[in-house]
Amino acid sequence: MAALPDRAARIALSCVVDAGDPSLAALVAEVGASEAWARVIDSALGEPAARRAAQFDHRQVEILSRHYRVRFVVPGDEEWPAGLDDLRFVAPIQRRAGVPIGLWLRGPRHLGDLSGRAVAIVGSRAATAYGIEAATDLATDLAAGGWTVVSGAAHGIDAAAHRAAVAAGGATLAVLANGVDIAYPKGNATLLSAIAQDHLIVSELPPGQSPSRIRFLARNRIIAAAAVGTVVVEAAHRSGARNTASWTVECGRPLMAVPGPVYSAMSAGPHQLVRDGRASLVTCAAEVLELVSALGSNVAVEQRGPDRPTDGLDEQRLSVFEALPARAFATVEDVSRRSGHPVPTVLAQLAALERAGLAEVEERGWRTSRDGSASTTGRGGQAHG
Amino acid sequence: MAALPDRAARIALSCVVDAGDPSLAALVAEVGASEAWARVIDSALGEPAARRAAQFDHRQVEILSRHYRVRFVVPGDEEWPAGLDDLRFVAPIQRRAGVPIGLWLRGPRHLGDLSGRAVAIVGSRAATAYGIEAATDLATDLAAGGWTVVSGAAHGIDAAAHRAAVAAGGATLAVLANGVDIAYPKGNATLLSAIAQDHLIVSELPPGQSPSRIRFLARNRIIAAAAVGTVVVEAAHRSGARNTASWTVECGRPLMAVPGPVYSAMSAGPHQLVRDGRASLVTCAAEVLELVSALGSNVAVEQRGPDRPTDGLDEQRLSVFEALPARAFATVEDVSRRSGHPVPTVLAQLAALERAGLAEVEERGWRTSRDGSASTTGRGGQAHG
């Protein structure tokens, strides 16, 4: 069988391996998508995936994609959101992990633009009237301030946040645990169709796929990574929103929680997150922006691209950049030693430098990018799957 | 004029100098109460105080005290609460400060016992139904668990906390900004009379005195210091409860705040305290006890008195004790150097050692107590003023 090109291999992989399989993420990171596809056929990820791969028909995807005006974006595409690459460094939560091998998109907005200045608002399906009001007010004010509201299109808090952003004339991004062509839950069909019409729906899963518990857990990491920070509005002690909260903390993004009456079971989750020191208490959009606006504008600066490659780098990032060799390759430990920063700091700064096209990584290690635009070299613009 | 004995001098001083005057606290700490009284007569604290001192008639106090069954306790009395001595190390807030020179007491309970295992519950006069319910539930559960509920007998949160403690058959301590014989506010007269009957009312001010703004501010430091920790249930952004909160933090005691709806102005104060990192968010008595119970039992251990003087000291306190000379005197800096602990730690540990009768302080510095009971030596039991 002839090797599939990178993009086609990613599409094929997304159709035969379940979302967020950390073995797939590791395999693609190691050998690239084309080789990963060949190995999946050779049972590298088990017999069931190999059987699905053998039966995979590319024409099916094309038909679905055209019919639903769906596109597929991959890391390195101009539309790919830089924030999602942070998932490389994130430890698996409940067996899900890794940078998505690609994302299915439906809707007219630009994913990279939306994600650069975005706050996730998540919470319980069984929200109270108080929670709905709080989510609505937060989303309205954030959307009016030019921030994308990211959520999961579930009943309750999620739907209230999306609706408020739409009503405020802002932008919203719905991240689904099923195909972007499927209206789930059915009660939110009108809302999802409005989002598909004027905003953006995203999923790691190909068209036609239904949600499952494991897909929800994998989806939550994309909500956390696609936003600059996450607000938990209402959540019971055990709640999916707490899974998104964990991803947010793992991604190194600010986690925020809205307080409520101590007698409300739906506020027990947010209160616990504050008590554990994991979330900051927030009561309004201004307090959310205090925590995320610096991050949002940093991302924005990187996306605009500086006049000189290193313009606009802060002192720490510049010192990591300057510790990189131009021709040889350096390990993260080398860079840590040369720059004087600890390894986690170096990892985070290298990721940012790579996103800015200033550093590149191979199996041998890290070095400065040779043409200052490594992150887009040889990958072309976005194409429709 | 013949010199007044210490207790009589303190009574006289409490009648002619306003509560919490930091100059008086400093003067008494420096020269003792008898000499301070002589100097106040000589205008050391200004002409108005000198005039009041010249006119002061001891018989008046005796008549009032007998009539209202009021007693006066001073530092070193068996009933004196050890916690109040921490006010020595506390910086003035709004021109009030210092260890009270004495306290007027009304009611059958033992102040030292109540204070050793006490939580303050404070909040707004204009409380909401939600706040009243939260204060009631907290006070009920703390009182049922054997903890004294300390508050200021104001309308709203304070009254709800006292009432719940009384109803639960627990103990409550009302700290007033007026004479213990005066029912203020009038609406709480029945409650205050129940507290006087079966619990305890405390004030720095002599019988007959009315409250004032400055007296409320001074009173709040006694609420904070008499309890092991303080819970703010509801408070507007600007509120007296926030003054008590500041005293609590200054005294090094845990400050706690109850969250509420983000739309309630009465929850804005607690939310701000949590956001500022000054208060821990608490939603029930169990969470309060998590934060204070260790402290409460430490106090209890000290009050019971160990078999050997240094039994029951933790490692840090023991190392400070061991850094003290037995015959010479050491400065706090000396002890810091010898023990390896920073000055604030040493100060706190020395205060605890002094309360436990293991250390004593003079103008020349600190040393170990010569008979293991320095804190009560030569001071006798409590007497009624």
Beta strands per DSSP E along chain A: 70-73, 103-106, 118-122, 148-151, 172-176, 200-203, 229-232, 255-257, 280-281, 359-362, 365-368
| Interior angle at CA B215, CA B210 and CA B219, nearest 5 | 115
What is the predicted pLDDT for the residue at B48? 93
- Please judge whether B259 and A260 are an interchain contact, meaning their C-beta atoms are less than 8 angstroms apart: yes
Chain B contact for A274 (CB, 8 A cutoff): yes
Rounded-to-integer distance, Cα A261 and Cα A274, Å: 14
Confidence of residue B70 (pLDDT cuts 50, 70, 90): very high
Q: How far is B260 from chain A (nearest CA, A)?
A: 4
Chain A contact for B278 (CB, 8 A cutoff): no
Chain A contact for B283 (CB, 8 A cutoff): yes
Q: Which residues of chain B does A234 touch, with a Cβ-Cβ cutoff of 8 Å? A: none
Span B5-21, mean pLDDT?
92
What is the predicted pLDDT for the residue at B370? 63
The predicted-structure confidence for B23-32, as pLDDT tens digits, reads as follows: 999 999 999 9
Q: How far apart are the first and last CA of chain A?
A: 21
Span A271-295, mean pLDDT?
93
Rounded-to-integer distance, Cα A176 and Cα B374, Å: 71
Considering only A6-20, A50-64, B57-71, B141-155, which range has the smallest mean pLDDT? B57-71
Chain A contact for B134 (CB, 8 A cutoff): yes
Span B176-182, mean pLDDT?
95
In terms of pLDDT, which residue wins out, B340 or A187? A187
**Does the model's ipTM exceed the 0.90 cut?**
no
The predicted-structure confidence for B74-131, as pLDDT tens digits, reads as follows: 999 999 999 999 998 888 887 888 999 999 999 999 999 999 999 999 999 999 999 9
Most A CBs within 10 A among B262, B267, B288, hence the mutation to make, goes to B262
The predicted-structure confidence for A92-116, as pLDDT tens digits, reads as follows: 888 888 999 999 999 999 999 999 9
Q: How far is B97 from chain A (nearest CA, A)?
A: 32
Res A240 pLDDT > 90:
no
Res B361 pLDDT > 80:
no
Chain A contact for B133 (CB, 8 A cutoff): yes
- Please judge whether B283 and A271 are an interchain contact, meaning their C-beta atoms are less than 8 angstroms apart: yes
In terms of pLDDT, which residue wins out, B382 or B279? B279
Q: CA dist B299 to A278, B79, B240, B302, Å?
A: 31, 14, 28, 5
What is the predicted pLDDT for the residue at B18? 87
The predicted-structure confidence for A1-35, as pLDDT tens digits, reads as follows: 568 899 999 999 999 998 888 899 999 999 999 99
Res A263 pLDDT > 80:
yes
Res B373 pLDDT > 90:
no
Res B376 pLDDT > 80:
no
Chain B contact for A132 (CB, 8 A cutoff): no
What is the predicted pLDDT for the residue at A96? 85
Q: How far is A188 from chain B (nearest CA, A)?
A: 27
Q: Give the nearest chain B residue to A287 (CA atoms).
A: B275
Q: Which residues of chain B does A130 touch, with a Cβ-Cβ cutoff of 8 Å? A: 261
The predicted-structure confidence for B303-326, as pLDDT tens digits, reads as follows: 333 345 666 677 778 878 878 877
Chain B contact for A260 (CB, 8 A cutoff): yes
- Closest CB from B134, B262, B275 relative to A262: B134
- Please judge whether B259 and A281 are an interchain contact, meaning their C-beta atoms are less than 8 angstroms apart: yes
Q: Which residues of chain B does A281 touch, with a Cβ-Cβ cutoff of 8 Å? A: 259, 271, 274-275, 281
- Closest CB from A261, A284, A287 relative to B260: A261
Residue whose C-alpha is closest to residue A28's, from A99, A96, A77:
A99
What is the predicted pLDDT for the residue at A303? 32
Span B352-376, mean pLDDT?
67
Most A CBs within 10 A among B232, B283, B288, hence the mutation to make, goes to B283
Q: Which residues of chain A does B284 touch, with a Cβ-Cβ cutoff of 8 Å? A: 262
What is the predicted pLDDT for the residue at A309? 62
- Closest CB from B130, B133, B260 relative to A259: B260
Rounded-to-integer distance, Cα A102 and Cα A179, Å: 13
Chain B contact for A284 (CB, 8 A cutoff): yes
Res A143 pLDDT > 90:
yes
- Please judge whether B261 and A130 are an interchain contact, meaning their C-beta atoms are less than 8 angstroms apart: yes
In terms of pLDDT, which residue wins out, B320 or B280? B280
Span B183-193, mean pLDDT?
96
Torsion, Cα B167 B170 B175 B179, to 10 degrees, reads 70
Chain B contact for A287 (CB, 8 A cutoff): yes
Span B220-233, mean pLDDT?
97
- Please judge whether A259 and B281 are an interchain contact, meaning their C-beta atoms are less than 8 angstroms apart: yes
In terms of pLDDT, which residue wins out, A190 or B350? A190
Chain A contact for B263 (CB, 8 A cutoff): yes
Torsions phi, psi for B333 (to 5 deg): -65, -40
In terms of pLDDT, which residue wins out, B194 or A316? B194
Span A354-375, mean pLDDT?
68
Length of chain A: 385
Confidence of residue A358 (pLDDT cuts 50, 70, 90): confident
- Please judge whether B274 and A274 are an interchain contact, meaning their C-beta atoms are less than 8 angstroms apart: yes
Mapped to the 3 state alphabet, what secondary structure does chain B carry? CCCCCHHHHHHHHHHHCCCCCHHHHHHHHHHHHHHHHHHHHCCCCCHHHHHHHHHCCHHHHHHHHHHHCEEEECCCCCCCCHHHHHHHHCCCECCECCCCCCEEEECCCCHHHHHHCEEEEECCCCCCHHHHHHHHHHHHHHHHCCCEEEECCCCCHHHHHHHHHHHCCCCEEEEECCCCCCCCCHHHHHHHHHHHHHCEEEECCCCCCCCCHHHHHHHHHHHHHHCCEEEECCCCCCCHHHHHHHHHHHCCCCEEECCCCCCCHHHHHHHHHHHCCCCEECCCHHHHHHHHHHHHHHHHHHHHCCCCCCCCCCHHHHHHHHCCCCCCCECHHHHHHHHCCCHHHHHHHHHHHHHCCCEEEECCEEEECCCCCCCCCCCCCCCCC
In terms of pLDDT, which residue wins out, A4 or B378? A4
Confidence of residue B363 (pLDDT cuts 50, 70, 90): low
- Residue by residue, DSSP assigns A155-220 as TTHHHHHHHHHHHTT--EEEEESS-TTS-SSGGGHHHHHHHHHHSEEEESSPTTPPP-HHHHHHHH
What is the predicted pLDDT for the residue at B332? 75
- Closest CB from B133, B262, B280 relative to A259: B262
Chain B contact for A281 (CB, 8 A cutoff): yes
Q: How far is B289 from chain A (nearest CA, A)?
A: 14
Q: Give the nearest chain A residue to B274 (CA atoms).
A: A281
| Interior angle at CA A264, CA A263 and CA A268, nearest 5 | 100
Mean pLDDT of all residues belonging to chain B: 86
What is the predicted pLDDT for the residue at A383? 35
Chain A contact for B314 (CB, 8 A cutoff): no
Confidence of residue B297 (pLDDT cuts 50, 70, 90): very low
Span A46-57, mean pLDDT?
92
Q: Which residues of chain A does B259 touch, with a Cβ-Cβ cutoff of 8 Å? A: 259-262, 267, 271, 274, 281
Most B CBs within 10 A among A130, A132, A231, A281, hence the mutation to make, goes to A281
Q: Which residues of chain B does A282 touch, with a Cβ-Cβ cutoff of 8 Å? A: 275
Q: Give the nearest chain B residue to A134 (CA atoms).
A: B262
- Closest CB from B274, B283, B287 relative to A281: B274
- Closest CB from A262, A268, A283 relative to B262: A283
What is the predicted pLDDT for the residue at A311? 61
